Amino acid sequence: MKVFSCDQCGQPVFFENVQCLHCGCRLAFLPDVLTLAAIVPAPMPPAGEGEDDNAAPPVALWQHAQATDASVRTYKLCHNHVVYQACNFAVASDDPNGLCISCRQTRLLPDLSVPDNHARWYLVENAKRRLYYTLAQLGLTSKGLDDPQLPAPTYDFLADVPGAAPVMTGHQNGVITLNIAEADDDERARRRVQLHEPYRTLLGHLRHESGHFYWDLLIRDGRRTESFREVFGDESVDYGEALRAYYADHAEHATSQSPDGPAWQNDYVSAYARAHPWEDWAETWAHYLHMADLLETAASYQTNLVIPGTQARSLGPDDPFDQRQSDFDTWIQQWVPVTLLLNSLNRSLGQNDAYPFALSEGALRKLRYVHDVIRR
């Protein structure tokens, strides 16, 4: 995610902010232009004759702080901000839906009267807003208003209930389900260790499950199954049986080492990717979104790097969402020095590698396929 600047004072502000800490101005994310903006109250329209004095007060309207045109677009704040302080997206004032383009995609919520569920829900929604931003930048979802030409996933965020079957995170028929226990750091870490995973985050979950949604949209419905099978294999093999076989020998494969690293590393971005071609696609898709987000962050900081011990100099990452200047070969050229710096900084703080992956030629071929499908 790039770093934004406050329209009022020019200081850096970040995607989740609702107020500039330097000048105190109010901030909101404007999905139609994909930017975090300083906002000010918009002039209220004059009251009409004969209006009911007992009618509900009009919804507060806002506009971009730097707008000077009298016909400038006005916004209302997302209902989930007004009521729960759980969202910082704005909604076009003429949109009949009170929820923003991201929050309206959530179909089911956990019981918010349960202690800690409000905080879990906020964290999950925040990860979903980050996913929304990346998908919108890639032209895969609509900006600001619903668009039938750009369908979006539906989300169910649920909690385990005593006596009922546990909530399983996954995707089915356009609906992404997430167990909100994943918002608890200790629970997520326990599951990561149990499953021998190097990386497990809320955003990673949502990126992975969105990959299943977009497989249906771009591969199955886009009639690309033949080219998909050439790269990922035959997805028609029994999915349930493939997962059972994967989990049966997962521990052995996840920990076994060869001189070149884990056996899966030659062809996949992760161990789980080898479970089935659908999971291979979803893991590769998620990894592609990781790359896009991190490269945009590095580009916004105008990062330039020299790898120690070499004369190789990175010219600095380009904006990965600028199709005029950023191709996949450029991505990869810029990716390695950025991730080396990222991991070195983490180790300096006594943390594990933030990017615990090494991309093989087999994994890069699959990432290039995802890149080409999205661009087409």
229 shares its domain with 367: yes
Last residue of a domain, one of 197, 223, 249: 223
Per residue in 192-251, pLDDT (tens digit) is 988 888 889 999 999 999 999 999 999 999 999 999 999 999 999 999 999 999 988 776
Cβ–Cβ under 8 Å, residues 363 and 311:
no
State the amino acid at position 52 in one-letter form: D
The model's pTM is: 0.92
Cβ–Cβ under 8 Å, residues 316 and 302:
yes
The tally of domains found in the chain comes to: 3
> Where residue 4 falls among pLDDT bands split at 50, 70, 90?
very high
211 shares its domain with 302: no
79 shares its domain with 4: yes
Cα separation of 299 and 334, whole Å?
10
Residue 132 lies in a domain: yes
Is pLDDT at 52 greater than 70 in this prediction?
no
User: Which of 24-28, 279-283, 332-336 has the weakest average pLDDT?
Assistant: 332-336
Is pLDDT at 54 greater than 50 in this prediction?
yes
295 shares its domain with 256: yes
263 shares its domain with 181: no
Per residue in 5-23, pLDDT (tens digit) is 999 999 999 999 999 999 9
Q: According to the model, what pLDDT value does residue 259 have?
A: 45
State the amino acid at position 49 in one-letter form: E
247 shares its domain with 263: yes
Question: How many other CB atoms are there within 10 angstroms of residue 12's CB atom?
Answer: 14
Residue 129 lies in a domain: yes
Cα separation of 45 and 182, whole Å?
45
In terms of pLDDT, which residue wins out, 261 or 75? 75
244 shares its domain with 336: yes
Alpha-carbon dihedral 137, 143, 147, 152, rounded to 10 degrees: 60
Q: According to the model, what pLDDT value does residue 53 have?
A: 55
299 shares its domain with 344: yes
Give the CB-side neighbour count of residue 323, counting CA atoms within 13 A.
8
Q: According to the model, what pLDDT value does residue 137 have?
A: 95
Q: According to the model, what pLDDT value does residue 328 have?
A: 92
Question: How many other CB atoms are there within 10 angstroms of residue 70's CB atom?
Answer: 6
Residue 69 lies in a domain: yes
96 shares its domain with 122: no
231 shares its domain with 370: yes
Alpha-carbon dihedral 176, 180, 185, 186, rounded to 10 degrees: -120
Crossing angle of helices 361-375/277-300, nearest 10°? Answer: 80
Residue 54 lies in a domain: no
Last residue of a domain, one of 189, 206, 223: 223
User: Which of 31-35, 40-44, 47-51, 193-197 has the weakest average pLDDT?
Assistant: 47-51
Residue 35 lies in a domain: yes
Per residue in 117-168, pLDDT (tens digit) is 999 999 999 999 999 999 999 999 998 877 888 999 999 999 999 999 999 9
| DSSP labels, 141-189 | S-SSS--TTS---EEEEE---TTSPPPPPEEETTEEEEEGGGGSHHHHH
Cα separation of 87 and 76, whole Å?
12
Q: According to the model, what pLDDT value does residue 46 have?
A: 63
Burial-class residue 317 by CB neighbours within 10 Å (0-12, 13-18, 19+).
buried
282 shares its domain with 214: no
Cα separation of 103 and 98, whole Å?
10
Cβ–Cβ under 8 Å, residues 286 and 374:
no
Residue 338 lies in a domain: yes
State the amino acid at position 221 in one-letter form: D
229 shares its domain with 169: no
Q: What are the tokens at 358?
A: 């090494």
Give the CB-side neighbour count of residue 115, counting CA atoms within 13 A.
0
Residue 262 lies in a domain: yes
Is pLDDT at 357 greater than 60 in this prediction?
yes
Per residue in 295-307, pLDDT (tens digit) is 999 999 998 887 7
In terms of pLDDT, which residue wins out, 55 or 108? 108
Per residue in 268-281, pLDDT (tens digit) is 999 999 999 999 99
Is pLDDT at 178 greater than 90 in this prediction?
yes
Sign of CA dihedral 140, 145, 151, 156: positive
State the amino acid at position 19 in one-letter form: Q
Q: Give residue 110's domain range.
A: 101-223
Q: According to the model, what pLDDT value does residue 68 have?
A: 65
For residue 36, what are the CA distances in angstroms to 12, 13, 149, 280, 304?
11, 8, 25, 34, 25
The answer for 283, left when phi > 0, alpha when psi is -120 to 50, beta otherwise, is alpha
Beta pairing class for 12-13 and 4-5: antiparallel
Question: How many other CB atoms are there within 10 angstroms of residue 191's CB atom?
Answer: 15
Mean pLDDT (the chain) is 90
Name the 3-class secondary structure at 331: helix
Cβ–Cβ under 8 Å, residues 286 and 278:
no
Last residue of a domain, one of 204, 223, 242: 223
Cα separation of 185 and 131, whole Å?
20
> Where residue 314 falls among pLDDT bands split at 50, 70, 90?
low
In terms of pLDDT, which residue wins out, 89 or 336? 89
Residue 363 lies in a domain: yes
Crossing angle of helices 225-232/361-375, nearest 10°? Answer: 160
Q: For the chain, what percent of residues have pLDDT higher than 90? A: 72
Ranked by mean pLDDT, the top range of 79-83, 329-333, 354-358 is 79-83
